[in-house]
Amino acid sequence: MASDLITDTTDANFDKDVITSDVPVLVDFWATWCGPCRAIAPVLEVMAGEYKGRLAICKVDVDHNQAIAGRFGVRNIPTLLLFKGGEVVGQRVGALNRKALDEFVSTAL
């Protein structure tokens, strides 16, 4: 479900895509059957273009990547984790609107 601007990351490549990133990373833990996850997907797509070069956006399908979801204690989706310098600097659960997403990511930029 990712695009040219959003990276589908997995248990195998999460550290490369997120932990060692030179820019802050917003990680969306989601699943195909999750309505709120599908609702925020277009907003994240727009944000990925607008924040290109300053913020990376990755998606983790929790049905196929349970190890990474467990590593970060993801129990509900959508869960959005914000990473900076390889560390979690923020977490939000639920479908946020664009204003709330912008405010959330601004803390890491």
Kindly report, residue by residue over 58-106, the tens digit of the pLDDT.
999 999 999 999 999 999 999 999 999 999 999 999 999 999 999 999 9
Architecture of the domain whose range is 6-106: 3-Layer(aba) Sandwich (3.40)
The DSSP symbol for 23 reads S
* pLDDT cut 90: percent of the chain above it: 96
User: Is 37 part of the annotated catalytic residue set?
Assistant: yes
Structure tokens at 26: 């917003």
pLDDT attached to residue 3: 75
Q: Where are the domains of the chain?
A: 6-106
Catalytic residue, from 25, 26, 27, 34: name it. 34
58 is catalytic: no
Which residue in 26, 37, 55, 56 is the catalytic one?
37
pLDDT of residue 21: 97
- CA-to-CA distance for 108 and 68, rounded, in angstroms? 21
Residues in the chain: 109
pLDDT exceeds 80 at position 9:
yes
Q: What is the pLDDT of residue 108?
A: 95
- Compute the C-alpha angle 60/64/68, nearest 5°: 55
Q: What pTM value is reported for the model? A: 0.95
